[in-house]
Structure 1
Amino acid sequence: PVEQFSEKAYQDLLWHTLLRGHDSFFLWCLHEELEKEVALVHEVYAKSMPYTEYIQKGIPIDQYVPGAPGPVISGLRLGNKALIKRTDFNQSPERLTIAVSETESIEIPADFDTGILPVSITATEPSWIESSFPIGFYEFPKDDSTLIDMAKAGINLVRCNNENDLDRVQALDMKGWMAMSVQEGLTNNLMQRASDHWNHPALAVWEGPDEIIWTFTAYSFLKERAGFTREDWNNQKTIAVQYAESVGPDLLARMQESINWLKRNDPHQRPFWINEAADSDAFYARGYVDSIDIVGCDYYAVRSTGTDLTSIGRLTERWDAIGKGRPVWMVLQGFSWHALRDDRQRQYPSFSQSRFMAYDAIVHGAQGLLYWGTETIDDPMFRQSLYAITSELAAIEHYLKKTNRSSVRARIIPDLFEPESIGIKAILGSHETDSLLILVNKDTHRHLGVEIQGLEALNGQRLHLLYGQEMQIPDQGSFITRMQANEVKIFATDPSLAKGTREGRSFTDKTE
Structure 2
Amino acid sequence: MYGKLTLGSMALGLCGALSAAAATFHIAEDRMAVVDGERVFILGLYENPSDDAVLREAAESGFNLVYVSANEAALDRVHAQNLWAWINAGYAIDLSEKTEEREAALHSMVERFAAHPAMLVWEVPDEALWNCWYNAILWRTGEEPRRLTEKINALEDEDQKRELRGQLAEVRRLQRLALYDEAEPLADALWSALGEYSPRPGYGLADAPARAAKLCEGMIAGYKLLRKIDPDHPVWMNHAPRNQIAQLAMFNQGADIVGCDIYPIPFTPKVGHSDLAERSLAAVGAYTRRMQQAAPGKPVWMVLQGFGWGDIQPERSEAERRELRRPTYEESRFMAYDAIARGARGILYWGTASIEKDSTLWQDLMRLAAELRALQPVLSAHDAPIGIHVEVKETFGSVDRTIHVLPKQVGDKVWLIIVNECPDPLVYVLRGLGAPDGTIYEEIDSGRRVTVDDGAISMGLAAQSVHILRPE
Query: In the alignment, does 2:235 pair up with 1:318?
Result: no
1:418 CA drift (Å): 4.4
Moved over 4 A (4+): 224-229, 231-234
Give 2:441's match in structure 1, choosing from 439, 457, 463. 463
**By percentage of residues, which structure has more helix?**
2
Give 1:424's match in structure 2, choosing from 396, 400, 403. 403
User: SS where residue 221 of structure 1 aligns?
Assistant: helix
1:401 CA drift (Å): 3.3
Amino acid at match of 2:229: N
Structure 2 equivalent of residue 362 of structure 1: 340
Query: Against the structure 1 CA distance between its residues 332 and 126, is the aligned structure 2 distance closer, same or farther, given a 3 Å change threshold?
Result: closer
- 1:207-230 residue CA offsets vs partner (Å, 9 max, x unmatched): 00000011112344343688899x
2: CA distance, partners of 1:246 / 1:459:
60
Give structure 2 stretches of 5+ with no counterpart: 1-23, 28-32, 146-170, 185-203, 270-278
1:444 CA drift (Å): 1.2
Structure 2 equivalent of residue 194 of structure 1: 110
1:487 CA drift (Å): 1.9
Amino acid at match of 1:367: R
2: CA distance, partners of 1:316 / 1:232:
31
Q: Does the aligned pair in 1 maintain the 2:267–2:280 contact within 8 Å?
A: no
Query: Against the structure 1 CA distance between its residues 403 and 236, is the aligned structure 2 distance closer, same or farther, given a 3 Å change threshold?
Result: farther
1: CA distance, partners of 2:381 / 2:282:
21
- 1:53-102 residue CA offsets vs partner (Å, 9 max, x unmatched): xxxxxxxxxxxxxxxxxxxxxxxxxxxxxxxxxxxxxxxxxxxxxx9xx9
Structure 2 equivalent of residue 144 of structure 1: 52
Q: Does the aligned pair in 2 maintain the 1:210–1:275 contact within 8 Å?
A: yes
User: SS where residue 305 of structure 1 aligns?
Assistant: coil
Query: In the alignment, does 2:391 pair up with 1:411?
Result: yes
1:169 CA drift (Å): 2.0
Q: Does the aligned pair in 1 maintain the 2:418–2:466 contact within 8 Å?
A: yes
- 1:350-391 residue CA offsets vs partner (Å, 9 max, x unmatched): 111111111111111111100000011136121010111111
Query: Against the structure 1 CA distance between its residues 244 and 414, is the aligned structure 2 distance closer, same or farther, given a 3 Å change threshold?
Result: same
1: CA distance, partners of 2:267 / 2:286:
22
Structure 2 equivalent of residue 94 of structure 1: none
User: SS where residue 415 of structure 2 aligns?
Assistant: strand
If the length of structure 2 is used for normalisation, what is the TM-score? 0.72
Amino acid at match of 1:355: R
1:419 CA drift (Å): 4.0
Amino acid at match of 1:221: L
Structure 2 equivalent of residue 275 of structure 1: 238
1: CA distance, partners of 2:406 / 2:431:
11
Larger Rg: 1
Q: Does the aligned pair in 1 maintain the 2:107–2:229 contact within 8 Å?
A: no
Query: In the alignment, does 2:327 pair up with 1:349?
Result: yes
Q: Does the aligned pair in 2 maintain the 1:183–1:252 contact within 8 Å?
A: no
- 1:172-230 residue CA offsets vs partner (Å, 9 max, x unmatched): 2211111002444351223212220011121111100000011112344343688899x
Q: Does the aligned pair in 2 maintain the 1:428–1:437 contact within 8 Å?
A: yes
Q: Does the aligned pair in 2 maintain the 1:136–1:155 contact within 8 Å?
A: yes
Give 1:333's match in structure 2, choosing from 305, 308, 311. 305
Query: Against the structure 1 CA distance between its residues 486 and 168, is the aligned structure 2 distance closer, same or farther, given a 3 Å change threshold?
Result: same
Give 2:375's match in structure 1, choosing from 365, 383, 396. 396
**Identity, % of aligned positions:** 29
Give 2:450's match in structure 1, choosing from 472, 478, 486. 472
User: SS where residue 260 of structure 1 aligns?
Assistant: helix
Structure 1 equivalent of residue 221 of structure 2: 257
1: CA distance, partners of 2:266 / 2:37:
32
User: SS where residue 206 of structure 2 aligns?
Assistant: helix
Report 1:34-45 matches (<5 A): none
Structure 2 equivalent of residue 371 of structure 1: 349
Query: In the alignment, does 2:184 pair up with 1:221?
Result: no
Query: In the alignment, does 2:258 pair up with 1:300?
Result: no
Structure 1 equivalent of residue 463 of structure 2: 485
Query: Against the structure 1 CA distance between its residues 277 and 418, is the aligned structure 2 distance closer, same or farther, given a 3 Å change threshold?
Result: closer
Greater RCO (CA < 8 Å, at least 6 residues apart): 2
2: CA distance, partners of 1:234 / 1:422:
32
If the length of structure 1 is used for normalisation, what is the TM-score? 0.67
Give structure 1 stretches of 5+ with no counterpart: 1-98, 104-124, 495-512
Q: Does the aligned pair in 1 maintain the 2:46–2:66 contact within 8 Å?
A: yes
1: CA distance, partners of 2:206 / 2:40:
43
1: CA distance, partners of 2:208 / 2:400:
39
Query: Against the structure 1 CA distance between its residues 243 and 422, is the aligned structure 2 distance closer, same or farther, given a 3 Å change threshold?
Result: same
| TM-align CA RMSD | 2.9
Amino acid at match of 1:172: Q
